[in-house]
Amino acid sequence: MLRKNDIADWLMGLQDRICASLEGLDGTDHFHEDAWQREGGGGGRTRIIQGKHIEKGGVNFSAVEGELSPNLQKALGVADSSFFATGVSIVLHPSNPMVPIIHMNVRYFETGPDSWWFGGGIDVTPHYVFAEDARGFHQLLKAVCDQHHQDYYQEFKKWADDYFYIKHRKETRGIGGIFFDKLDASRGSKEDLFAFLKDVGEAFVPAYTALFSKHYQEAFTEAHREWQLLRRGRYVEFNLVWDRGTKFGLDTDGRIESILMSLPRDVRWYYDHRPEESSPEAETLRHLVKGIDWLHN
Amino acid sequence: MLRKNDIADWLMGLQDRICASLEGLDGTDHFHEDAWQREGGGGGRTRIIQGKHIEKGGVNFSAVEGELSPNLQKALGVADSSFFATGVSIVLHPSNPMVPIIHMNVRYFETGPDSWWFGGGIDVTPHYVFAEDARGFHQLLKAVCDQHHQDYYQEFKKWADDYFYIKHRKETRGIGGIFFDKLDASRGSKEDLFAFLKDVGEAFVPAYTALFSKHYQEAFTEAHREWQLLRRGRYVEFNLVWDRGTKFGLDTDGRIESILMSLPRDVRWYYDHRPEESSPEAETLRHLVKGIDWLHN
């Protein structure tokens, strides 16, 4: 029988493995760790890297427990007020504009022996969209999904398109990936769903390594850098205005620095910036829409 | 009898006068205007300056009308579904970190002959708090308020403290100012309240001129500039997470570039940045709390 602590232990190990791999990729900095305790119960390990190639990145683990407020109980639609939640969250902002921003989250939630679910996903936000990279990334995710259910990739790919959408800009945050939530007993046994979650978690390093290694030493101009800063502005807009995880954290008095580690270091906003027609920047914008079949694009 | 178009006309004139004054202050750039039409009715004039001393600033006028959605009608607590709204909104991000960010808004709303109100306010967000500047600014606002009602300054100063509060940081956005909303017939005649609104609007130029002229040529270091970028990060957090005006605009499909003109050009986030004890930066943080009596601080 799979216990919540088994899941938390595995996630903690995942955090360790991912941090070790990322330190290897960047090669110039180590993660700085802040271990923290939550007043209501539990705590976490926030790890931050600020290297030459990963300009600002966070790999967070947390396992918290306590009592849900009546409002939260209602929002989550659960009967029990006691809860346990554990997860690993990652956001990496690279220095090189040709390397995309990447985000991953894998999490487990329970409010009683019979009420539990898994959630998570991986998605990338390129400053410049390269069709070949997007194809490779989605192929990898599809392979992970296909091992568990033939419908997972299509379903969770669409979910990512819908979730990572900057409504006020009418733009997707990037080229998506997969996103899923509330995978519960109606979807499979806890063991099977955990096996899926593990495979998603383990896909992070190969997925990012492919994108990072290909581009991190690529030459770029001031104009590329500026476009990167502007695209980061969109990332900030999504995370502060629309992201439910951020909202949940801010509303429930979570550890602010761990929640907002997702924000980039340097960001820029211009009034009404529009890239030149047919420029690589305009091409990228053209790809920030829902429903692209990246496998055959 | 005061008609809605009289109010809109006066606000348009205010925009012109303020823009002319700001061009004089900056001395290096003119406002660029985008006139826009709203599908549902009405439109506006968004004016942007990107000068040497005002790094990024917007002075917007709009006068829009149409139908409220049932949700909005409920949120506003009004019986009529047709509405008219007009206002001037300003946010200026200066280049010099010793000059504060300033914000002003004056607006009028009606949903029928018997349902109307005024709202608005002025507040400043210093990157470095100077007690003398804060005193002068609040004295000026108090003088404006005192001409209309002996309780306005205290009431609207508190309202600003409560409104411009970055809840997740437990920090005020700056040293406040005045904020008021739904000033309706229960508060005075439409003529009297409009007279108050006019005085608030006309106070903008002297208030900003005092702060700008004193500091815009002051020497500053890279460290000052960096602190400015970090404080701008807080400004972004407030505007995207908490500001009801921004939320309203994004929810109602407003003109995005006009709404988000409030965002600074260059911004920075560090993970868990903490200024050195007793530094000017730490002193500034110490003053970002509610309830300071700036007149006697």
What's at B19, amino acid-wise? C
* Active-site choice (B93, B103, B148, B215): B103
Out of B237, B261, B271, whose CB is closest to A240? B237
CA B223 to chain centre: 27
pLDDT of residue B177: 98
Q: What percent of chain B has pLDDT over 70?
A: 100
Residues in chain A: 297
pLDDT of residue A71: 84
pLDDT of residue A249: 84
pLDDT of residue B253: 77
B79 pLDDT band, cuts 50/70/90, is: confident
Buried residues in A1-13 as b, exposed as e (16+ CB within 10 A): eeebeebbebbbe
Q: A168 to chain B nearest CA, in Å?
A: 6
Q: Has domain A4-296 been given CATH number 3.40.1500.10?
A: yes
Q: Is B184 helix (H, G, I), strand (E, B) or coil?
A: coil
| Of B286, B126, B146, B263, nearest in space to B208 by CA | B126
The label of the residue with tokens 């990060």 reads B233
Helix spans in chain A (H): 4-26, 70-76, 131-146, 152-163, 190-215, 222-237, 244-251, 256-259, 280-286
- Closest residue in A to B233 (Cα) is A267
Query: Mean pLDDT over all residues of chain B?
Result: 96
CB of B62 closer than 8 Å to CB of B86: yes
Structure tokens given for B128: 């470095």
pLDDT of residue A261: 96
CB of B265 closer than 8 Å to CB of B93: yes
Characterize the bridge pairing of strands A266-268 and A176-183: unpaired
- Helices (runs of H) and strands (runs of E) counted in chain A: 9, 10
| Of A203, A225, A199, A208, nearest in space to A133 by CA | A208
Residues sharing a CB contact under 8 Å with residue A219, sequence separation 6 or more, in sequence order: none
- Separation of alpha carbons A130 and A214, rounded Å: 11
The label of the residue with tokens 């602590």 reads A5
Any idea what the Cα angle at residue B269 is, between residues B172 and A276, rounded to 5°? Answer: 115
| Stretch B176-197: mean pLDDT | 97
- Separation of alpha carbons A211 and A296, rounded Å: 18
Out of A34, A167, A264, whose CB is closest to B269? A264
Residues sharing a CB contact under 8 Å with residue B182, sequence separation 6 or more, in sequence order: B117, B119
pLDDT of residue B249: 84
pLDDT of residue B68: 86
User: Catalytic annotation on A215?
Assistant: no
B252 pLDDT band, cuts 50/70/90, is: confident
- Separation of alpha carbons A51 and B184, rounded Å: 56
- Check whether B251 has a pLDDT greater than 80: no
Characterize the bridge pairing of strands A42-49 and B171-172: unpaired
- Separation of alpha carbons B86 and B84, rounded Å: 7
pLDDT of residue A23: 97
Out of B50, B256, B270, whose CB is closest to A265? B270
- Check whether B288 has a pLDDT greater than 90: yes
Q: Can you say whether residue B220 is alpha, beta or left, with left for phi > 0 and alpha for psi between -120 and 50 degrees?
A: beta
pLDDT of residue B76: 84
- Check whether B140 has a pLDDT greater than 80: yes
B73 pLDDT band, cuts 50/70/90, is: confident
**Predicted model pTM:** 0.96
Residues of A in contact with B233 (CB under 8 A): 263
Out of A250, A261, A269, whose CB is closest to B241? A250
* Active-site choice (A53, A93, A103, A138): A103
- Separation of alpha carbons B273 and B259, rounded Å: 29
CB of A29 closer than 8 Å to CB of A55: no
- Closest residue in A to B166 (Cα) is A250
A188-192, B39-43, B122-126: range with lowest mean pLDDT: B39-43
Structure tokens given for B77: 């607590």
CB of A288 closer than 8 Å to CB of A171: yes
| First and final C-alpha spacing in chain A | 43
The label of the residue with tokens 């801010």 reads A250
Residues sharing a CB contact under 8 Å with residue A21, sequence separation 6 or more, in sequence order: A205, A209
Any idea what the Cα angle at residue A239 is, between residues A234 and A241, rounded to 5°? Answer: 90
Structure tokens given for B159: 């309202």
pLDDT of residue A178: 98
Chain-chain contact of A167 with B250 (C-beta, under 8 angstroms): yes
CB of A137 closer than 8 Å to CB of A211: yes
Q: Tell me, yes or no, if A225 comes closer than 8 A to chain B by beta carbon.
A: no
Chain-chain contact of B56 with A271 (C-beta, under 8 angstroms): yes
Task: Provide the 10 A C-beta neighbour count for residue B148.
Answer: 18
pLDDT of residue A191: 97
pLDDT of residue B276: 96
Task: Provide the 10 A C-beta neighbour count for residue B54.
Answer: 25
Q: How far is CA B184 from CA A24, A176, B189, in A?
A: 64, 48, 8
A2-11, B76-85, B254-263: range with lowest mean pLDDT: B76-85
Q: Can you say whether residue A191 is alpha, beta or left, with left for phi > 0 and alpha for psi between -120 and 50 degrees?
A: alpha
* Tens digit of pLDDT at every position of chain A (297 positions): 899 999 999 999 999 999 999 999 999 999 999 999 998 899 999 999 999 999 999 999 999 999 888 888 888 888 888 999 999 999 999 999 999 999 999 999 999 778 999 999 999 999 999 999 999 999 999 999 999 999 999 999 999 999 999 999 999 999 999 999 999 999 999 999 999 999 999 999 999 999 999 999 999 999 999 999 999 999 999 999 999 989 888 877 789 999 999 999 999 999 999 999 999 999 999 999 999 999 998
Structure tokens given for B102: 């300033």
pLDDT of residue A113: 74
Q: Is A44 helix (H, G, I), strand (E, B) or coil?
A: strand
| Of B51, B48, B26, nearest in space to B209 by CA | B26
Choose the mutation target among A47, A262, A269 for the interface with B, i.e. most B CBs under 10 Å. Answer: A269
Residues of A in contact with B271 (CB under 8 A): 48, 50, 56, 58, 257, 261
- Check whether B113 has a pLDDT greater than 80: no
Any idea what the Cα angle at residue A223 is, between residues A219 and A226, rounded to 5°? Answer: 110
CB of A54 closer than 8 Å to CB of A99: no
